[in-house]
Structure 1
Amino acid sequence: MSISPQSTPSRFHLSPNQRLVERSDSNPIPRWRGAKLVPLLISVAIGLIVRFAIPKPAPLSKQAWQLLAIFLTTIAGLVLSPLPIGAWAFVCITITVITKTLPFAAAFAAFTNEVIWLIVASFFFSRGFVKTGLGDRIAMYFVKWLGMSTLGLSYGLVLSEALIAPAMPSSTARAGGIFLPIINSLSLSADSRPKDASAKKLGAYLIQSQLQSAGNSSALFLTAAAQNILCIHLAEELGVKIANPWISWFKVACLPALISLLATPFIVYKIFPPETKKTPEASAMAARKLEQMGPITRNEWLMIGTMLVTVALWISGKALDIASVVAALLGLSILLLLGVLDWDDCLSEKSAWDTLAWFAVLVGMAGQLTALGIISWISNHVANFLKSLSLRWPAAFGILQAVYFIIHYLFASQTAHVGALYSAFLSMLLASKVPGLLAALALAYNTNLFGSLTHYSSGQAAVYYGGGYVELRDVFKVGILMALVNLAIWGLVGTPWWKILGLY
């Protein structure tokens, strides 16, 4: 909220050593701007109860039990949000150092992790797509070719995102930087306005279709979403080595992801139909937009070339002995040297730096929990419980995948969910004798599919809901229906496909 200079003296007072105070006509009313007190107290109480009220299991060290208590406080804060996620992560990692649970070097070791910097670089690439207009151009071509009907228009948008996804590794950036503005323009041209009864003419359907398809676009390619890269890293920490990760990820995901991707716009069209069925003006509008954009610019060509080189290195990096993060940093360096991006673009990408901070904290804590034996202790207990029920590994696999999916109703971030629970669930799957590659990849694909459950379940969900075209009850209704559809497609198609590939 911006405050004009003229209004500031009459309503607000700010001294160097005091918080912002809002005045009324009679008495000043202190306005607390720190952590939300109730979520803070609940989060801290959870950690204190675990640390001091629950007896430490004999196999675990005092250090391990204390770290688990702090980690649970961290996770509670991710769910309850007493502070923004980055600030809360910083507070919790500081507690681990103050209490001597971890030495400073161990607590902050993950800030040099390759995966973290690969994710940060991905935000910068996404900015390049938006800044050059290349993402808009690609989407407009698909709208021009397929946009004569509402269903065709939806397919045009969905397919263009799938094409962009491997080179633009942020589903949130794709949503906010490219597709929401395009959907808004198309909807307004069809007299479909946000926060209005006319939203259901066109805008609400396009939003729902794009949101529900985004999870499959992200699941199709390793580099399509930040959480994918983190999953691979965490799996390797638990001993699941994936040869040639980019190719392996795509090969295992391609059949169920593509079928689900192609089915989603049609199914959403049936369960949440738009009032407008024909959209000839959309194709014409896209043609006009492309004409206004003119020929492909120098920076767009440079962006295309750089991303082709970077994706090629991601695909063939193992053979060339070039790590994924090195390929990403090389691509970013080229964009900076050629002026496609400048350093101010990178500095202003707050999401990248925020992710660097809290992602590193979660990855570091998860790694230390594994090293101290907490993860294996929990997973063995769960695995033994499942064995006591006389369950074979396929049943344990289904139960744990379902629980991992449902728990996401408590999380407002896919990456936070991965950092908090991926290692624990993968360990439980491995302890239940689920084949390692199947367990690691299925859990990772699952991470993408639950991104459209609610309006808060992922960055792209928040972006699309913020567009104002979809009512909250429809977000939850379509979210759970499409979750069941996606899980059914991935189960029915993926299971035999993965058998053919030899995953089990």
Structure 2
Amino acid sequence: MSNPPTVGNLHNFGMDVFPTPPTGSTTTAARWGGAKPIPVAIAVAIGVIFRFAVPKPAHVSKDAWQLLAIFLTTIAGLVLSPLPVGAWAFVCLTVTVLTKTLTFAAAFTAFTNEVIWLIVASFFFSRGFVKTGIGDRIALYFVKILGKSTLGLAYGLALGEMVISPAVPSTTARAGGIFLPIIKSLAFSADSRPKDASAKKLGAFLVQSQLQSANNSSALFLTAAAQNLLCIKLAQSLGVKFGNQWVSWLKAASLPAFISLLATPFILFKLFPPEIKDTPDAPAMATQKLEQMGPVTKNEWVMIGTMLITVALWISGQASGMASVVAAMLGLSILLLLGVLDWDDCLSEKSAWDTFVWFGVLVGMATQLTTLGIVSWISDGVEKSLKSLSLGWPLAFVILQAAYFFIHYLFASQTAHVGALYSAFLGMQLAAKVPNLLAALALAYNTNLFGALTHYSSGQAAVYYGGGYVKLPDVFKLGIVMALVNILIWAVVATPWWKILGLY
């Protein structure tokens, strides 16, 4: 039996999806490196047809209608992927300026937004967790303490992710950089191999448990996923006020997310049981890994202390008078000054800068659509339709939340889903007189909960499916079953909890 793969090294698991081609490869040289022609044609056609074939309402300005057409092309490109997300967003932003739909200042105004810079800073914190190894260490501690049984192992991994999620704002990064390597190492030690009959011994269950649990970890903290911050910003552009964003988010999510997270491994243990029920060697393996890592280093202590200070400032934002983004800037400055991170680490964090570009474009367009009256035009139309059907706001809330959730089968990205539909569905709910905070937060939590519907519904789903332990029919079957379970738990728990908090 070969040595188990080392924790944190994705290449050992065959995760090098884009291997470097051999020197002198003619295949690479001949390959077209630009945009994919068919997705480009479809995305552009959607915008052009809407702009020139759909009659413009009399009270909507030409610039507003044109911006909506470009926005539809942008969203279509996010779904069809003719270019990487950031590149496509930049091209579409250029079109808004080139066609004089927006001025340069209006097109780039969102790039000074506090939320966008908070996301960038959070990605740098994530880099610190990976670089220092503290993320691996925390996860391994949970495995050591709870890992004597397979179910305990699943709980250890789930709780480990919950603890580090506020500081690592990407479920995909947590999946690929920390938890899939640990799961594979544990599975290999139990002779549970991917794409093999032995996958069901241990690996398949741990992968599904971690994927489904991660939805609730991402929903629990505002800074646990980039799409959470995008939802907050879009809601603010529609006039929703949050007070202390981090605390408001945590208070509303805490009870339903934590109960759902605790229930998930147990339910999956019954629905998708592993063949191995006891894992007495897992704590020993975790102990060995921790011994190999040695004692907690100075940089790890600095990383822990900095994150505790930053989170404390996020929680006490109103009392301290410090904005969340300023607290994040302070934390990042400490890491740079003390050498935990260097500037090259920040410059090489491609995910941060990519998110900065496409996030800024989407927020900017959405804000301008609101300013130019498109969102209010859509909301007014929905309000009239709902009035004609005599639907009260509770029923409208349930219908629109369910539609927003299950339409995710059409999307391969949580962030693309938010960019395409969050503002529209929130506007419809506000028009139906759903209480503002209830509508905004419920949609945002839903954005996390549908992340495991399919193997393509989120970055982390693709990472875990790529591990090779779970067959595609099982992915779809467990995806819909656990989606319904999550919806039921959140409905039962959140309904009285949100009433107590005064959300409605």
What TM-score, normalized to structure 2? Answer: 0.94
Are the structure 2 counterparts of residues 432 and 281 from structure 1 closer, same or farther at C-alpha, using a change threshold of 3 Å? same
Partner of 1:391, secondary structure, is coil
Say whether residues 1:75 and 2:75 are aligned partners: yes
Are the structure 2 counterparts of residues 477 and 247 from structure 1 closer, same or farther at C-alpha, using a change threshold of 3 Å? same
Which blocks of at least 5 consecutive residues in structure 2 are unaligned? 1-18
Whether the 8 Å CA contact 1:122–1:170 is kept in 2: the answer is no
1:10-21 matches, within 5 Å, as 11=26, 20-21=29-30
Structure 2 Cα separation of the partners of residues 280 and 3 of structure 1 = 42
Structure 2 Cα separation of the partners of residues 318 and 123 of structure 1 = 24
- Give the equivalent residue in structure 2 for 1:16: none
Structure 2 Cα separation of the partners of residues 383 and 12 of structure 1 = 55
Off by >6 Å, runs of 4+ in structure 1 = none
- Give the equivalent residue in structure 2 for 1:381: 381
Give the partner amino acid of 2:306. Answer: T
Structure 1 Cα separation of the partners of residues 167 and 93 of structure 2 = 33
1:446-457 matches, within 5 Å, as 446-457=446-457
Structure 2 Cα separation of the partners of residues 193 and 114 of structure 1 = 45
Once the two structures are TM-superposed, the CA of residue 386 in structure 1 deviates from its matched residue by: 2.1
- Give the equivalent residue in structure 2 for 1:2: 20
Whether the 8 Å CA contact 1:205–1:273 is kept in 2: the answer is yes
Once the two structures are TM-superposed, the CA of residue 12 in structure 1 deviates from its matched residue by: 5.8
Deviation digits for residues 106-145 of structure 1, max 9, x if unmatched?
Answer: 1111111111111111111111111111111111111111
Whether the 8 Å CA contact 2:166–2:222 is kept in 1: the answer is yes
Structure 2 Cα separation of the partners of residues 167 and 350 of structure 1 = 17
Give the partner amino acid of 2:175. Answer: A
Give the partner amino acid of 1:378. Answer: I
Say whether residues 1:351 and 2:351 are aligned partners: yes
Structure 1 Cα separation of the partners of residues 466 and 346 of structure 2 = 25
- Give the equivalent residue in structure 2 for 1:17: none
Deviation digits for residues 199-238 of structure 1, max 9, x if unmatched?
Answer: 1111111110001011111111112111112222222221
Give the partner amino acid of 2:337. Answer: L
What TM-score, normalized to structure 1? Answer: 0.94
Are the structure 2 counterparts of residues 169 and 12 from structure 1 closer, same or farther at C-alpha, using a change threshold of 3 Å? closer
Whether the 8 Å CA contact 2:414–2:447 is kept in 1: the answer is yes
Structure 1 Cα separation of the partners of residues 442 and 255 of structure 2 = 13
- Give the equivalent residue in structure 1 for 2:339: 339
Deviation digits for residues 19-62 of structure 1, max 9, x if unmatched?
Answer: x42xxxxxxxxx43322222111111111111001110112001
- Give the equivalent residue in structure 2 for 1:327: 327
Structure 1 Cα separation of the partners of residues 204 and 108 of structure 2 = 44
Give the partner amino acid of 1:119. Answer: I
Partner of 1:204, secondary structure, is helix
Once the two structures are TM-superposed, the CA of residue 453 in structure 1 deviates from its matched residue by: 1.2
Say whether residues 1:219 and 2:237 are aligned partners: no
Partner of 2:316, secondary structure, is helix
Are the structure 2 counterparts of residues 12 and 249 from structure 1 closer, same or farther at C-alpha, using a change threshold of 3 Å? closer
Structure 1 Cα separation of the partners of residues 445 and 371 of structure 2 = 25
Structure 1 Cα separation of the partners of residues 424 and 363 of structure 2 = 13
Structure 1 Cα separation of the partners of residues 177 and 267 of structure 2 = 26
- Give the equivalent residue in structure 2 for 1:24: none
- Give the equivalent residue in structure 1 for 2:11: none
1:124-163 matches, within 5 Å, as 124-163=124-163
Say whether residues 1:287 and 2:287 are aligned partners: yes
Structure 1 Cα separation of the partners of residues 27 and 126 of structure 2 = 39
Which blocks of at least 5 consecutive residues in structure 1 are unaligned? 14-19, 22-30
Give the partner amino acid of 1:397. Answer: F
Partner of 1:108, secondary structure, is helix
Whether the 8 Å CA contact 1:169–1:223 is kept in 2: the answer is yes
1:92-491 matches, within 5 Å, as 92-491=92-491
- The total of aligned residue pairs comes to 486
Whether the 8 Å CA contact 2:75–2:419 is kept in 1: the answer is no
Give the partner amino acid of 1:161. Answer: E
Structure 1 Cα separation of the partners of residues 474 and 79 of structure 2 = 23
Partner of 2:58, secondary structure, is coil
Structure 1 Cα separation of the partners of residues 164 and 173 of structure 2 = 11
Structure 2 Cα separation of the partners of residues 97 and 331 of structure 1 = 36
Give the partner amino acid of 1:342. Answer: D
Whether the 8 Å CA contact 2:228–2:444 is kept in 1: the answer is yes
Give the partner amino acid of 1:237. Answer: S
Once the two structures are TM-superposed, the CA of residue 272 in structure 1 deviates from its matched residue by: 1.3
RMSD, aligned α-carbons = 1.3
Structure 2 Cα separation of the partners of residues 139 and 313 of structure 1 = 25
Structure 1 Cα separation of the partners of residues 347 and 154 of structure 2 = 34
Structure 2 Cα separation of the partners of residues 332 and 462 of structure 1 = 30
Whether the 8 Å CA contact 2:51–2:69 is kept in 1: the answer is yes
Once the two structures are TM-superposed, the CA of residue 416 in structure 1 deviates from its matched residue by: 2.3
